[in-house]
């Protein structure tokens, strides 16, 4: 079953059109990857879905419901969560308070239950719950950012380059968390430049260039496509 369908989606900033008529499908219960160089339109794609960047044309259907004109709050209520690029935690706030921000639409009792679930998934969160997020390493902050997005209990989790700027050890920790999330059946749309992470996690991959889809296949299919493999998968 297809959970998210984009048809002819175009978004832009002022006079600049960042995304040109993108078609994209995300099947329920899968991890779908989006590869592309800097400036390809990857972040614009996610921000357009979330309603944070003006949509100029096209359709966004989530579980059969049209959300192309919906505001960000409605997108979140529908069950889509974004873990943004560069994490965007509040550094002076505690780990716990950062996590609770992800459940602001939930009743207080439900938010506390979700917080306890986050602590069970990642026990060191509980041990350091009162510590300021700004004191964490980049990898630790990324884990908190992903956990914050999960606090809304989304049906679709979107991640914008979660491995960016992280050490190899931290990337492995992020990968392990995403593996657990995927194994639990959550649908994921993963935007990345780390091709190894995409090849390991994703069943289907889209390639963006200049705001357009220039390739779409299984990971194996992309590997066997010499042009795309050389350009985006390191040959």
Could you write out the DSSP letters of every residue in 149-187?
HHTT--SEEEEE-TTTT--HHHHHHHHHHHHHHHHTT-E
| Range 73-99 average pLDDT | 94
- Average of per-residue pLDDT across 228-232: 63
The whole-number average pLDDT for the span 8-26 is 93
Express each pLDDT in 155-171 by its tens digit.
999 999 999 999 999 99
What contacts 182, CB < 8 A, 6 or more positions away?
31, 188, 201
Query: How confident is residue 86, by pLDDT bands cut at 50, 70 and 90?
Result: confident
Q: What are the structural domains, with CATH classification, of the chain? A: 1-79+157-164+189-229 (3.40.50.300)
pTM greater than 0.85: yes
Mean pLDDT of 87-91: 92
Residue 21: per-residue pLDDT: 95
Pairing verdict, β 156-160 and 187-192: parallel
Q: Which residues 6+ apart lie within 8 Å of 184 measured at CB?
A: none
- In angstroms, rounded to a whole number, what is the distance separating the alpha carbons of residues 128 and 140? 11
């Amino acid at each position: 079953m297809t959970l998210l369908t984009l048809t002819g989606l175009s978004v832009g900033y002022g006079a600049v059109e960042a995304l040109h008529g993108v078609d994209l499908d995300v099947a329920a219960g899968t991890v779908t990857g989006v590869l592309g160089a800097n400036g390809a339109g990857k972040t614009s794609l996610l921000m357009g879905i979330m309603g944070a960047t003006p949509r100029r044309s096209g359709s966004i259907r989530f579980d059969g419901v049209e959300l192309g004109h919906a505001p960000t709050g409605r997108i979140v209520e529908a069950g889509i969560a974004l873990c943004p690029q560069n994490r965007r935690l509040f550094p002076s706030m505690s780990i716990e308070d950062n996590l609770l921000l992800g459940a602001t639409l939930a009743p207080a009792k439900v938010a506390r239950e979700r917080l306890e679930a986050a602590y069970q998934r990642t026990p060191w969160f509980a041990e350091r719950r009162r510590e300021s997020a700004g004191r964490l390493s980049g990898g630790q902050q990324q884990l908190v950012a992903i956990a914050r997005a999960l606090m809304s209990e989304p049906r679709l989790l979107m991640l914008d380059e979660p491995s960016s700027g992280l050490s190899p050890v931290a990337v492995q920790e992020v990968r392990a968390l995403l593996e657990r999330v995927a194994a639990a059946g959550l649908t994921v749309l993963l935007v990345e430049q780390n091709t190894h992470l995409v090849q390991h996690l994703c069943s289907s991959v889209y390639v963006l260039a200049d705001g357009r889809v220039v390739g779409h296949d299984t990971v194996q299919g992309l590997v066997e496509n010499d042009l795309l493999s050389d350009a985006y998968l390191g040959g």
